[in-house]
Amino acid sequence: MADVCLRLQYACPWQSNMAAHGRQPVLSSTPLQILFHLNGWYFAAFFVAEILMFIYKGVILPYPQDNLILDVVLLLLFSGLETLRLFYGWKGNLCQRSLALFVSVAILVPCAVLSVYYLLLQTFVLRLEFVLNAVLLCFYGFELVLGVMTISIFSRANIY
Amino acid sequence: MADGWCSDNGESVYRSRDAVKNFRIRVRIQRVTSTAALSEHLHQQVLSQQERGVIELETFSTQTASSTDEEELVVAWQEKFFSQYEVDLYQTESNCQTPLERQYHTDIMAMERSKRRQNQRIFTYTDFDRFSKWEEQAQSLVIPAQPTPTFLAERMANVRHRRQERRPAESNVPKSRLITWEPSEEFVKNSHIINTPVQTMYIMADLGPTGKLGLKENEYVLCTIKADGNGVISIKPDFNNNRGAYRLETEGEKREVWRLYLENASSDIQAEEKDREQRMYRDLYTRHKDYLNSLVGQDFEMPPPGILRLIVNGEIVSAQGYEYDNLYVHFFVDLPNNWSSVSSHCLSGVTQTCRTRSIEKEDVAFFSYPFSFETFFHKEDESDGSLPQWPVLYFKVLSLDFWQRFRTEGYGYLVIPSTSGRHRMTCRTWRAVQRGTVAELRRFFIGGAPELEDISYVRIPGTFKGERLSRFGFRTQTTGSVTFTLNCIQHARAFIDASTLKKRRQTVLDQLGGHSQQGSVYNVLEAFQRAHKRMQEARETLPRDLINTSALLNSESSA
């Protein structure tokens, strides 16, 4: 029989007073943070692979010049949007800001559209591109669900 | 003629505490040549030839006796006696150019009117006289010593020369040549040498023939006296003091020889003046001492009896061996029972955030954070048998990341040492962990970590009431360490009592207990306990019926 008069609580960032009681629990979502972490690394690899595949398709296949330029520009736009989304998601989750996380979920929509474009609507779609975009869309699905849940948790909590 | 000449005519230096204006010297010169015999011979001839005129003979003999050359004069410091040459020179007002010379003119005219001249041959040159500058270069005519002037003597003579040349009343400063761009050697010699201010006085003698006084070439230096502001007086030549007379020999065809005597004529201070001076000095020193005492003060703060005052000036030196970067330390001082603190003092604090650097394969964060606090110990309940406890410094180390998430890196505590002085100690820390990898993932990604609600659980929690503290089931992980430096000062009135009674001090608290007001109460309680114990022992040995009899007696006495 353990006689430990101890109650463990988790650290809160905004309360630095040691004498405070009844501290707020940590509301941040660990799975969402893990997904953001993995998605960051995955998108970096995805970007490099796409650049290399565009070089390959431009050299080997009879790629139209206008279509190639359009695809590369869209890829750059995709990377910018993805970076912005990851930053706001990361910040919103760690700092427990609903607005930042909402912005992240909002940017998720154009990112998904671009991913579907690269999955289906490119001039030439390789099998590797198909697989990479499919995995990326899975990431987006999980992040959408967890993001909405975390936003609801943040909104319901009384933060003062 | 050759009897008792003093050939030692060197300079002598004296040091005096008295003011130099009290200096007196008696000068006496005496002619010792055949001219005196010749005068006596002439005197006898006149007496033998004219025996009828008594008045004329008396007048002539008086005149001869007065010219029998021996003169004595007491000279004070910087006292002006005029020579015949000066009297002749300054009688004419047109010769007076400076205010000093006009003053001399007034003095000479007054002296001529009052007919009270004290000197004939002996006169003085003071420090302000115009003739002082080149008279110094003239050598003393004491024949056995004729030194050649050295380079230093020449430059010092020029120094005196420089000061005379710069008399402001006599000359005007040229305004067009304030800066000399190419100074000549003579200019440097006159202007650049620094000299200690020394006042000089010459005692001169007019050794001319009788009736022919006033010629410049017949003037000779008898004595040179110098004095500076520090009370150093140099006299050249020295006083005679029962030695032979100095020998003076004139130049010219007659070659007369004079005898010179110098004697110290300064009078001692009066007894009542000396007492008054000593009293004045004593009052001056006493007043100065009182002034210093009023500045310093005499209050030395002392704690009340039976109270120990503990003053700690500490420093959080460094933290080493932690996992994350950007460390900071939360700390507070926990006071046990019977300890109190000044309300204005703060017993908690937090250091700055510090990045670590690698020193000998270990990450070290140097805080160098100073803190200080002051507490008082007052033991009121002497009968309590528990050991006295000392204050405890609880601390926890946390880290802060880019997103302002902090993680608990370690918990630790430090018991304030019971001895005074400087202490440097390193405390090892631990942190609470949870079972499973989910907690580690949470700690890595989010920053959440298990945290103690009551930090005194590091040692003995404040709410603990039992006899045995069990920590079974509580999981921890060893982390780094924190280094502290403490300077402890203990202040109590019992320390004076201990030193006065020359008793050996076992512990501070025993002395506090022994010399406080509650000590007597404690003794009374102890005696009561012993008496109570003896009564219980006596009651156990008595038979039962005797106890009943004593109870009956008590009831009767109460009725």
Dump pLDDT digits (tens) for A59-109: 888 888 788 888 899 999 899 998 989 999 988 988 887 889 889 999 989
With an 8 Å Cβ cutoff, are A10 and B330 in contact? no
Q: Is residue A112 part of a domain?
A: yes
Residue B485: φ, ψ to 5°: -125, 125
Which of B330, B448, B473 is opposite residue A26, by nearest beta carbon?
Answer: B448
Which are the contacts of B402, defined by CB distance < 8 A and separation ≥ 6?
Answer: none
Q: Is residue A72 part of a domain?
A: yes
Q: Which amino acid is at B134?
A: W
The residues spanned by each domain of chain B are 2-145+182-264, 307-513, 515-559
With beta carbons under 8 A apart, name residues in chain A contacting B472: 2-4
Q: Which residues 75-94 on chain A approach chain B with CB closer than 8 angstroms?
A: 90-91, 94
Question: Helix A65-95 and helix A98-120: axis angle, to 10°?
Answer: 150
Closest-CA distance of chain B to residue A33, Å = 6
Residue-wise pLDDT for B340-360, tens only, equals 887 766 788 989 889 887 887
User: Per the structure, how many domains does chain A have?
Assistant: 1
B141: confidence class by pLDDT, cuts 50, 70, 90: very low
Q: Does residue B121 register a pLDDT over 70? A: yes
With beta carbons under 8 A apart, name residues in chain B contacting A11: 405-408, 447-449, 451
Chain A interface mutation, best of B445, B458, B465, highest count of A Cβ atoms under 10 Å: B445
Structure tokens given for B220: 């000779």
Structure tokens given for B10: 């060197």
Q: Look-up: residue for tokens 């300064």?
A: B266
With beta carbons under 8 A apart, name residues in chain A contacting B453: 6-9, 21
Q: Does residue B34 register a pLDDT over 70? A: no
The rounded mean pLDDT for chain B is 73
Closest-CA distance of chain B to residue A103, Å = 18
More confident residue, B489 or B98: B489
Chain A interface mutation, best of B446, B451, B459, B476, highest count of A Cβ atoms under 10 Å: B446
Mean pLDDT of B239-262: 73
Which are the contacts of A89, defined by CB distance < 8 A and separation ≥ 6?
Answer: A32, A36, A100, A101, A104, A143, A147
Q: Does residue B406 register a pLDDT over 60? A: yes
Q: Answer for the pair A75, A54: CB distance below 8 angstroms, yes or no.
A: yes
State residue A80's pLDDT score. 96
Residue B231: φ, ψ to 5°: 85, 15
B236: confidence class by pLDDT, cuts 50, 70, 90: confident
**Residue B349 contacts A where some CB pair is shorter than 8 Å:** no
Chain A interface mutation, best of B333, B443, B453, B464, highest count of A Cβ atoms under 10 Å: B453
Q: Which of A43-47, A125-129, B135-139, B228-232 has the highest mean pLDDT?
A: A43-47
With an 8 Å Cβ cutoff, are A30 and B446 in contact? yes
**Residue B462 contacts A where some CB pair is shorter than 8 Å:** no
With beta carbons under 8 A apart, name residues in chain B contacting A33: 445-446
More confident residue, B178 or B85: B85
B159: confidence class by pLDDT, cuts 50, 70, 90: low
Residue-wise pLDDT for B522-536, tens only, equals 567 768 777 877 777
CATH class of B307-513: mainly beta
Q: Please choose, from the candidates A64, A60, A41, A49, the residue with its C-alpha nearest in 3D space to the C-alpha of residue A118.
A: A49
Domain that includes residue A146, residue range = 27-156
Which of B408, B445, B470 is opposite residue A11, by nearest beta carbon?
Answer: B408
Q: Does residue B514 register a pLDDT over 60? A: no
HSE (side-chain half, CA atoms, 13 Å) at B312: 29
**Residue A10 contacts B where some CB pair is shorter than 8 Å:** yes
State residue B463's pLDDT score. 74
**CA atoms A97, A99, A104, A108: torsion sign:** positive
B459: confidence class by pLDDT, cuts 50, 70, 90: confident
Q: Is residue A55 part of a domain?
A: yes
With an 8 Å Cβ cutoff, are A94 and B447 in contact? yes
Which are the contacts of B25, defined by CB distance < 8 A and separation ≥ 6?
Answer: B74, B75, B203, B223, B225, B235, B239, B262, B263, B264, B265, B266
Q: Is residue A143 part of a domain?
A: yes
Q: Which amino acid is at B141?
A: L
Q: Does residue B103 register a pLDDT over 50? A: yes
Estimate to the nearest angstrom the gap between the alpha carbon of B119 and the chain centroid: 51
With beta carbons under 8 A apart, name residues in chain B contacting A34: 441, 445
The rounded mean pLDDT for chain A is 80
With an 8 Å Cβ cutoff, are A7 and B453 in contact? yes
B481: confidence class by pLDDT, cuts 50, 70, 90: very high
Q: Does residue B56 register a pLDDT over 60? A: no
Mean pLDDT of A102-130: 88
Q: Look-up: residue for tokens 């009431």?
A: B465
Closest-CA distance of chain B to residue A64, Å = 45
